[in-house]
Amino acid sequence: MSKIMVGYARVSTEEQDLTAQRDALASLGVEPERVYVDHGFTGRNKNRAGLHEALAACRAGDTFVVTKLDRLARSVRDAHEIADGLARREIRLSIGGSVHDPTDPMGKLLFNVLAMIAEFEADLISMRTREGMKVAKANGRLRGKQPKLTVKQETHLLELHDAGKHTMTALPVLECVSGPCLPGLGDE
């Protein structure tokens, strides 16, 4: 039976840094080559390649290590699914250095409380984001994704299409985004 420690770290955006989580995992005894990571994924996203690789790297007797439960899952259901899957495979789950024991009533209580807090935090973040977007929209600051074409470029392309000179698929729209490509379309 192997006895290795497999670590998992996650950040929600590409701009965030994993250094603190990597350092914490190293201080918990996880070798750097055994740390699997995900960039730009929320804890609610189940399709995380790093998580799948980390779980696949674990064998019976190993310990799966995360710095905090919210790095692993952001809902009570997902946290339980992952923890139960690990327990079925006889893999221990270490959260910040404390090994979760699914058979211990106090361990179960603590795990449930941590999972509820992680889900609550995710819900608060989502609510604040929606509120912020609503305020920004009301103040005219939230306009969504900016168009790739200028008004002049778009008008010209529509004129070409309406005149029957080109079909929509034949119009070289993508080339126009990076520079002049159609007659009459200069740099704006």
Active site amino acids: 12
Read off the amino acid at residue 113. V
Q: Residue 44 corresponds to which tokens in the numbers above?
A: 């609610």
For the chain, the first-to-last Cα distance in angstroms comes to 67
Nearest in space to 67 (alpha carbons), one of 141, 118, 33, 3: 118
Dist CA 32 CA 20 (whole Å): 13
Distance CA 114, CA 78 (A): 12
Report in angstroms the alpha-carbon separations of 128 from 9, 14, 42, 180: 24, 20, 16, 42
Strand order in the sheet with 35-39: 35-39, 5-11, 63-66, 92-95, 98-100
